[in-house]
Amino acid sequence: MKPVDGTIARARRLLGGLLLALLTGCGSPEPPVRSGPIGDWPAVGNTLGGLKYSPLDQIHKDNVGALEVAWVHHSGDVSDGTGDATRTAFQATPIVVDDTLYYCTGFNRVFALDPETGDERWVFDPKLRATRLQGPYPLTCRGVDHWRDPEPAAVCQARIFTGTIDSELIALDAATGQPCPDFGRDGRVALREGVGDAPTWEYYSTSPPLVVRDVVVVGALVADSLRVDAPSGVVRGFDARTGALRWAFDPVPPWWPERGEEGGGYQSGTPNVWSLLAGDEERGLVFIPTGNASPDSFGAIRRGLDHYASSTVALDVETGAVVWAFQTVHRDVWDYDVASQPALFQIEGVGGGAPALAQATKMGHVFLLHRETGKPLYPVEERPVPQGGVPGEVLSPTQPFPTHPPPLHPASLRPDDVWGFTFVDRGDCADKLRHYRNEGIFTPPSLEGSIQYPGPAGGANWGGVAIDPERGVLYVNQTRAGVVHQLVPRAEFDSLDPASVVYPEELYPMAGAPYGVRRSPLLSNFGAPCNPPPWGTLTAVDLRSGQVLWESTLGTTRDQAPWPLWLDNGAPNLGGSIVTAGGVVFVGATTDKFLRGFDADTGEEIWTARLPYTGNATPMTYRLRPDSRQFVVIAAGGHGWSEPGDALTAYALPVE
């Protein structure tokens, strides 16, 4: 069902608050209950499998309205892009383990804090060699990982692992922040060996490493659409104690010949793994969401390199061997790479209670797969999709569509669907839809320009899903915004002036291909999306039935609209949600500066907190002792679309 309209809901909460104040004589809020479960948050997704669920219930749907700021930590690592560093984004999700909170910044500094006060315990500075990057990507670090050596006499027994913009994997002593001397060279392992010659800004780590058993698994960002021979998308596993290379997954098709040293290292142009990984310690598996092969928007010259592209791939963590692979898009030319962390779950009544994996995609599709085999738990249909791309292109005649749950994002945008503030901007949008090629989802990029809806930001992006294993419900936040995707013949593209294009307008050369890429948001002449609102959503899905339980609007036009009248139309969002046993879904992510709490059962927005910057990160929560409070923490520091900042902000119920 649909939730109550946001304006009405806020009015109800205000009235409820006034009545409560009258009944209690304006006394202090109810103190937190000093009972119930305790728990930390030892991985970015809380579990290795990225469930993003907490069993904590001190904060619940009936008292969430009393949350207040408990502490704020400022790292000082902020750049607006005008100095000697690229603009920063603060997308980190902290971890809490062994009574310490750890997080990283866009400058790859790692902080250890007291999780209940925000006081610093130590800080590590990698002293980056490069902080000025080209392209649209901000400086960011989405998190760190933790590992404890079972040998009690080990040097650096508890370790924090982090990846850097300088393409290094670093191991730190969790107690002191000092590099572990027995790991690599002075605590560092270089990640550029064998990936090809590339400037710093074309290849580096943004998402956290993942430690499964005693293997540190790491991928890397590879800049989109720059050239055919882009750096390799190799994924590697390193020994957590020594930093020695244990294995490398070079994602070439299985029929390709073995590549020896004479081959110059790993294969260029292969799909990379830039987003968050998931692991199954018991089964010894690591699950990787893959990107696109190069060139991103023209598949005819990939020579089969997209065999593992836009897929979820399960690797044996001991050897790096492929156990299974499931492809979410065939011959992807839309930048529909798998951006979301796979989420591992096992729930009675879902797929016969099998060990399972949920993979959200930018198309608004959620595939439920058997964790051991990669086989869909429910039917996936291969449906015909539009054909006839640019000259020379070879497209897949069909694409996979899940049926349980069905697609969660509209699959088409017609002229009659367009939205506007007035008939003027509605008419402008309708004209644009008639002008460009527009045949629904999977319309291929074209010379005249094609409507791509969902756009390449999603649907779901790296924030992924949260799953409540007790309710059997999956929660996913998505963006709804279209783009115009156009291929430009090489001679014409080479005559364009890249300096004349300002983000969010984009030009990509795809050097070595017969076309370059022009991409721009599908906006009206008033600057608003042409597709109808909501432009951001939060959706709850019953995993047993596959049915949508509710869909709520996520975000407003505040902090983006150039006028003081803000609309509850939803907003583009990057970052994810978490869900707690207290029945609250916490999510920031939007282009407005709020952290929100939604009723997990109804979708009603029951709490909002104004942040100093946009919270384009996934929050987390913990309660460490029976006599302590439960905290909810989010990194508020902006993204490319908003003011950069550095406010790691913690909320809790008032002290007694």
Q: In angstroms, rounded to a whole number, what is the distance separating the alpha carbons of residues 211 and 263? A: 29
40: pLDDT strictly greater than 90:
yes
**Per-residue pLDDT band at 8 (split at 50, 70, 90):** very low
Digit-coded pLDDT (tens) for 135-158: 788 999 999 999 999 988 888 999
pLDDT at 9: 40
Digit-coded pLDDT (tens) for 213-231: 999 999 999 999 999 999 9
320: pLDDT strictly greater than 60:
yes
424: pLDDT strictly greater than 60:
yes
What number is the average pLDDT over the span 403-413? 97
What number is the average pLDDT over the span 636-648? 92
User: CA of 265: how far to CAs of 226, 248, 249, 291, 293, in Å?
Assistant: 20, 11, 12, 20, 17
**Per-residue pLDDT band at 31 (split at 50, 70, 90):** low
Read out DSSP for 279-338?
EETTTTEEEEE--PPSSTT--TTSTTGGGGTTEEEEEETTT--EEEEEESSSS--S----
265: pLDDT strictly greater than 60:
yes
Neighbours of 165 (CB within 10 A): 26
- CB-count exposure of residue 405 (10 Å: 0-12, 13-18, 19+): buried
pLDDT at 560: 84
Tokens of 532: 């109808």
162: pLDDT strictly greater than 90:
yes
pLDDT at 30: 56
Digit-coded pLDDT (tens) for 446-462: 999 999 999 999 999 99
CA torsion through residues 277, 278, 283, 284, sign: positive
Identify the residue with better confidence: 347 or 155: 347
Give the residues across from 620 on adjacent strands: 633
- Biggest CA pair distance of the chain: 80
34: pLDDT strictly greater than 80:
no
Identify the residue with better confidence: 656 or 460: 460
What number is the average pLDDT over the span 265-270? 93
Digit-coded pLDDT (tens) for 518-532: 999 999 999 999 999
71: pLDDT strictly greater than 50:
yes
Compute CA 527 distance to the chain's CA centroid, rounded to the nearest angstrom. 26
pLDDT at 118: 98
pLDDT at 210: 98
403: pLDDT strictly greater than 90:
yes
Compute CA 442 distance to the chain's CA centroid, rounded to the nearest angstrom. 22
Q: What is the percent of the chain where pLDDT is above 70?
A: 94
pLDDT at 164: 97
593: pLDDT strictly greater than 70:
yes
pLDDT at 5: 40
What number is the average pLDDT over the span 221-248? 96
567: pLDDT strictly greater than 50:
yes
What number is the average pLDDT over the span 189-204? 91
pLDDT at 640: 78
Digit-coded pLDDT (tens) for 74-124: 999 999 998 889 999 999 999 999 999 999 999 999 999 999 999 999 999
Q: Which amino acid is at 36?
A: G
Average pLDDT, the chain: 92
CB 221 within 8 A of CB 206: yes
Compute CA 285 distance to the chain's CA centroid, rounded to the nearest angstrom. 21
Q: In angstroms, rounded to a whole number, what is the distance separating the alpha carbons of residues 473 and 476? A: 10
Q: In angstroms, rounded to a whole number, what is the distance separating the alpha carbons of residues 575 and 73? A: 20
**Per-residue pLDDT band at 264 (split at 50, 70, 90):** low
**Per-residue pLDDT band at 33 (split at 50, 70, 90):** low
Digit-coded pLDDT (tens) for 97-108: 999 999 999 999
**Per-residue pLDDT band at 176 (split at 50, 70, 90):** very high
What number is the average pLDDT over the span 312-326? 98
CB 78 within 8 A of CB 140: no
**Per-residue pLDDT band at 12 (split at 50, 70, 90):** very low
Phi and psi dihedrals of 200, rounded to 5?
Answer: -50, -45
pLDDT at 446: 97
Rg (CA), the chain: 24
273: pLDDT strictly greater than 70:
yes
Helix (H, G, I), strand (E, B) or coil at 559: coil
**Per-residue pLDDT band at 586 (split at 50, 70, 90):** very high
pLDDT at 17: 38
Q: Which amino acid is at 134?
A: Q
Give the residues across from 7 on adjacent strands: none
638: pLDDT strictly greater than 60:
yes
Catalytic residues, which ones? 335
Helix (H, G, I), strand (E, B) or coil at 71: strand
Q: In angstroms, rounded to a whole number, what is the distance separating the alpha carbons of residues 13 and 71? A: 25
Instruction: Break the chain into its structural domains and give their ranges.
Output: 6-652
**Per-residue pLDDT band at 10 (split at 50, 70, 90):** very low
Q: In angstroms, rounded to a whole number, what is the distance separating the alpha carbons of residues 94 and 91? A: 10
Digit-coded pLDDT (tens) for 509-565: 999 999 999 999 999 999 999 999 999 999 999 999 999 999 999 999 999 877 667
Q: Are strands 577-580 and 53-54 parallel, antiparallel or unpaired?
A: parallel
Q: In angstroms, rounded to a whole number, what is the distance separating the alpha carbons of residues 139 and 91? A: 10
Specify the CATH number for 6-652; select among 1.10.3720.10, 2.60.120.10, 1.20.1260.10, 2.140.10.10: 2.140.10.10
| Among the listed residues 606, 455, 615, 607, the one whose alpha carbon sits nearest the alpha carbon of residue 535 | 455
- Token look-up 């050596």 returns 149
User: CA of 191: how far to CAs of 73, 184, 602, in Å?
Assistant: 31, 11, 46
